[in-house]
Amino acid sequence: MKKILAASALALGLGVSATAFAEPVKVGLITTLSGGGAGLGVDARDGFMLAIKLSGATDIEVVTEDDAMKPELAVQIADKMIQSDKVDVLTGIIWSNLAMAVVPNAVAQGKFYLSPNAGPSPLAGAKCDKNYFNVAYQNDNFHEAAGNYAQTEGIKKMFILAPNYPAGTDSLNGFKRFYKGELVGEVYTKLGQTDYAAEIAQIRASGADSVFFFLPGGMGIAFMKQYAQSGVEIPVMGPGFSFSQDVLGAIGDAALGAKNTASWSPDLDNARNKEFVTAFKAEYNRLPSIYAAQAFDTGSLIAAVAAKTDVKDADAFRAALEAADFQSVRGKFKFNTNHHPIQDFYVREVVKDADGVLTNKIIATSFTDHEDAYAKDCKM
Amino acid sequence: MQTALLIEQLLNGIQFGVMLFLMAAGLTLIFGVMGLINLAHGSLYMVGAFACAWVAAATGSFWLGLLASLVAAAAAGAIVEMTVIRRLYGRDHLDQVLATFALILIFSEATRWVFGSFPLYLNIPPLLGGAVALPGGVHYPLYRLAIIGVGLAVALGLYLLISRTRLGMRIRAGESDREMIGALGVDIRTLYTIVFALGAALAGLAGAMVGALQSVQVGMGEPVLILAFVVIVIGGIGSIKGAFVGALLVGITDTMGRLLLPQMLAAIIGPAQAAGIGAALASMLIYIVMALILAVRPKGLFAAQA
């Protein structure tokens, strides 16, 4: 009996020492896999899983759940993942209203949250947290880049449009921060709205030189199709979300030539991006969207950090995340003091690739090493 | 310019209302005749849109797609009626809501399983593309005018069907006394299936027409379903006339509210806040209208029976 006990104690001891360095990391991926926003969530999930697969890591376990784009559901899932699945890291949320509901609670319980998309301004500023990292952007960034582009292009009168939710107000604020011309219209629509006849009529009557709109997912598809049919000839521009790969197919040729801004594009010239785009096409038989690219970076970062540090040692894990020593599809990657990226933003144009598929091509750089406007309010 | 904008918005309101009417007509018929609350009506709208997008992509013809949407939605409606709904007539509304809510989930997941999570491409037929100039300096998309035309034609057709034909007579009889017309020898089961399929076909038609304008994706029916319920509550449950008036009222109120409320508020509190508050108020407006109408006429504008 004594022998057996000793043997098992020894085995346990060995087991512990053997795994002490590569403690498995459990990741909870909460994203939108059903309903109107599912295209975005599916791309984020697929990008994330591809990164884990390519990293070759065997000790990362991912639990995936669908939030159906509902904040209350996302909160329940996060609680369940923390309490019964015992996850170490949470990620995956696309929508800012869901992130605002989940993130503060999760980081308060000592869990890490890495955002692959949503970057609401409070979490970048006054409500920032040492365990919250945003691998994508701060919400205002793409829109700031678009505002900067409109300003440098010398566009005199703009009409701007976004949905009425945290990322929508961040969007228009970001645009206005860099665009100093005249705003002939500023309209907030309902989140999930699909008929834009009333807004298009206002655009027609406004006499604008250009229209800036931020409408991710199905909202943008509906807007662009209706706009193309309305006979209004004013050129449109937007953040990368409005012309992302997930919606281009459904918008069709109406999107051709539209300018949009993003921190990434499928044609961005670096080895890691080429590897990502090729692998994504081979694995899922479609071109990746910006959501897939950001989630891929999130997955790569977790894999790189987990290979070096033990997730149970929160301080070491956090320090490794802050160092962000991983290969990004964006070429270079660095976190600011508020755990949001400092990165370049490009102006892209919708074109047809060699196979006749609509996609984006970089035509200019809007910002180099751009920081968000809220970092100074973050006291960590 | 301001009058042109107002006229355009009025047309937008009418177009939106007419589309809601196609949804609400089926919903109110089914409730009026069979006393059934059908939450899955939005799924039939989605079935119509997907059938249209799929057939249009396969054949290259929007018109074949439109036909397919009618057939597919009517067939889906008839099958659902015969397999599931038929068992629910005798039960109370809570059971009906539960079962038809389950149908929403089944339809959504089945559609995702077959077509994937990404929105489908469906565009307006070239014949109806572009905008036309109307008197008063108004430019209006031809396709939206066509929707108004189809909606009004369906409204007229339904009116004639219900007031002039034998089927319509049975439907009216079914609304006033279900047991009695069964006792008089009318095949009530077939009548129910026909009414359900008719309602489904109208929803499918709405889905296909709107799908070309918006985006064809899983879950597209539920937001419309909520508005369709608002319409039949305002119009009086079971009344086609009520559905028509209610639909136009909701359509015009919603569209005009979105235009005028932010502008009116801007005069009082400045444009920056007005955009946000106005948008929020505008999205509440139809529910406020519904509450006001129910306060004055608790059974809706045209209550079907006393």
The domain that contains A162 carries what CATH number? 3.40.50.2300
Please say if the pLDDT value at position B271 is more than 80: no
Using the beta-carbon criterion (under 8 Å), do A169 and B276 form an inter-chain contact? yes
Q: Give me the interface pTM, i.e. the ipTM.
A: 0.75
Q: Answer whether B111 touches A (CB < 8 Å).
A: no
Share of chain B above pLDDT 70, in %: 97
- Confidence label for B306 from pLDDT (cuts 50, 70 and 90): very low
Q: Nearest CB to A195: which of B9, B16, B108?
A: B16
**Taking residues B111-122, what's their average pLDDT?**
84
Using the beta-carbon criterion (under 8 Å), do B259 and A204 form an inter-chain contact? no
For B69, the domain range is: 2-218
Residues B280, B261: Cα–Cα separation, whole Å: 10
> Alpha-carbon dihedral of residues A320, A323, A325, A326, nearest 10 degrees?
90
Using the beta-carbon criterion (under 8 Å), do B218 and A225 form an inter-chain contact? no
pLDDT of residue B266: 78
Residue A1 within any structural domain of the chain: no
Which positions in chain A touch B251 (Cβ < 8 Å)?
none
- Chain B 222-251, residues with CB within 8 Å of chain A CB atoms: 223
- Closest Cα partner for B208 from B81, B44, B79? B44
Residue A60 within any structural domain of the chain: yes
| Range name among A24-33, A224-233, B69-78, B95-104 with the lowest pLDDT average | A224-233
User: Same domain, yes or no, for A167 and A306?
Assistant: no
Query: How far, in Å, are A313, A332, B128 from residue A306 at the CA level?
Result: 11, 20, 57
Pick A362 or B4 by higher pLDDT.
Answer: A362
Domains contained in chain A, number? 2
> Helices (DSSP H) in B240-270: which residue ranges?
240-269
Using the beta-carbon criterion (under 8 Å), do A231 and B123 form an inter-chain contact? no
Which positions in chain B touch A358 (Cβ < 8 Å)?
none
User: Same domain, yes or no, for A209 and A323?
Assistant: no
User: Same domain, yes or no, for A133 and A148?
Assistant: no
pLDDT of residue B272: 65
pLDDT of residue A3: 53
Which positions in chain B touch A46 (Cβ < 8 Å)?
none
Which positions in chain A touch B14 (Cβ < 8 Å)?
none
Pick A231 or B250 by higher pLDDT.
Answer: B250
Joined tokens for residue A99:
């992130």
Q: How far is B274 from chain A (nearest CA, A)?
A: 10
Residue A30 within any structural domain of the chain: yes
List the single best residue of B3, B117, B145, B220 to mutate versus A (max A Cβ within 10 A): B117
Taking chain A (380 residues) in consecutive chunks of 10 residues, what is each chunk's mean pLDDT? 50 43 84 83 96 92 92 95 95 94 94 94 93 95 94 94 88 94 90 85 91 88 88 91 88 90 94 96 94 96 93 93 94 94 95 92 94 90
Residue A4 within any structural domain of the chain: no
Residue B102 within any structural domain of the chain: yes
Residues B282, B171: Cα–Cα separation, whole Å: 37
User: Same domain, yes or no, for A171 and A222?
Assistant: yes
Q: How far is B171 from chain A (nearest CA, A)?
A: 34
- B35-47 as b/e, with b when 16 or more CB fall inside 10 Å? bbbbbbbbbbbbb
User: Which residue in chain B has the smallest CA separation from A226?
Assistant: B213
Residue B51 within any structural domain of the chain: yes
Residue B261 within any structural domain of the chain: no
Q: Nearest CB to B259: which of A202, A218, A252?
A: A202
Using the beta-carbon criterion (under 8 Å), do B5 and A202 form an inter-chain contact? yes
Please say if the pLDDT value at position B61 is more than 80: yes
- Tell whether the torsion through CA atoms of B173, B179, B184 and B188 is positive or negative: positive
pLDDT of residue B264: 82
pLDDT of residue A62: 95
CB distance A360 to A260 below 8 Å? yes
Q: How far is B148 from chain A (nearest CA, A)?
A: 14
Amino acid in the structure at residue B300: G
**Highest mean pLDDT, choosing among A304-308, B28-32, B87-91:** A304-308
Q: Nearest CB to B215: which of A194, A197, A231?
A: A194
Residue A15 within any structural domain of the chain: no
Please work out, in degrees rounded to the nearest 5, the angle formed at the alpha carbon of residue A281 by the alpha carbons of A280 and A287. Answer: 95
Q: How far is B180 from chain A (nearest CA, A)?
A: 43
Residues B29, B175: Cα–Cα separation, whole Å: 9
Using the beta-carbon criterion (under 8 Å), do B118 and A42 form an inter-chain contact? yes
Backbone angles phi, psi at B139, to 5 degrees: -105, 130
CB distance A366 to A343 below 8 Å? no
Residues B227, A291: Cα–Cα separation, whole Å: 32
Using the beta-carbon criterion (under 8 Å), do A250 and B216 form an inter-chain contact? yes
User: Same domain, yes or no, for A303 and A248?
Assistant: no
- Closest Cα partner for B191 from B205, B176, B203, B173? B173
Q: How far is B167 from chain A (nearest CA, A)?
A: 35
User: Same domain, yes or no, for A272 and A126?
Assistant: yes
Q: How far is A188 from chain B (nearest CA, A)?
A: 6
User: Which residue in chain A has the smallest CA separation from B224?
Assistant: A194
List the single best residue of B144, B217, B265 to mutate versus A (max A Cβ within 10 A): B217
Using the beta-carbon criterion (under 8 Å), do A187 and B2 form an inter-chain contact? no
Residue A18 within any structural domain of the chain: no
Helix, strand, coil percent content, chain B, rounded in steps of 5: 80, 5, 20
CB distance A352 to A314 below 8 Å? no
**Highest mean pLDDT, choosing among A114-118, B6-10, B129-133, B164-168:** A114-118
Tell the residue number behind the tokens 């939005």, with chain if given: B42
Using the beta-carbon criterion (under 8 Å), do B216 and A190 form an inter-chain contact? no
pLDDT of residue B34: 84
User: Same domain, yes or no, for A203 and A284?
Assistant: no
Q: How far is A88 from chain B (nearest CA, A)?
A: 29
User: Same domain, yes or no, for A310 and A327?
Assistant: yes
CB distance A253 to A273 below 8 Å? no
Report the SS3 class of residue A176. helix
User: Which residue in chain B has the smallest CA separation from A195?
Assistant: B214
**Taking residues B179-202, what's their average pLDDT?**
89
Q: Nearest CB to B276: which of A164, A192, A195?
A: A164
pLDDT of residue B305: 53
User: Same domain, yes or no, for A42 and A70?
Assistant: yes
Pick B47 or A7 by higher pLDDT.
Answer: B47
> Helices (DSSP H) in chain A: which residue ranges?
2-19, 38-55, 71-83, 96-108, 121-124, 140-152, 166-178, 197-206, 218-230, 245-251, 271-284, 290-308, 314-323
Helices and strands (H and E) in chain B: how many: 11, 2
Joined tokens for residue A93:
């949320």
Residue B116 within any structural domain of the chain: yes
Residue B230 within any structural domain of the chain: no
**Taking residues B140-149, what's their average pLDDT?**
92
Concatenate the DSSP letters of all residues of A305-372 into one string: HHHHS-TTSHHHHHHHHHHT-S--TTS--EE-TTS-EEEEEEEEEEEE-TTS-EEEEEEEEEEEEE--
Q: Answer whether B134 touches A (CB < 8 Å).
A: no
User: Same domain, yes or no, for A132 and A172?
Assistant: no
Q: Nearest CB to A164: which of B217, B220, B280?
A: B280
Report the SS3 class of residue A232. coil
Residue B202 within any structural domain of the chain: yes
Residue B296 within any structural domain of the chain: no
When computed from its CA atoms, the radius of gyration of chain B, rounded to whole angstroms, is 20
For A253, the domain range is: 140-262+345-376
Using the beta-carbon criterion (under 8 Å), do A195 and B220 form an inter-chain contact? no
Joined tokens for residue B263:
């502008």
User: Same domain, yes or no, for A93 and A35?
Assistant: yes
Domains contained in chain B, number? 1
User: Same domain, yes or no, for A147 and A243?
Assistant: yes
pLDDT of residue A4: 53
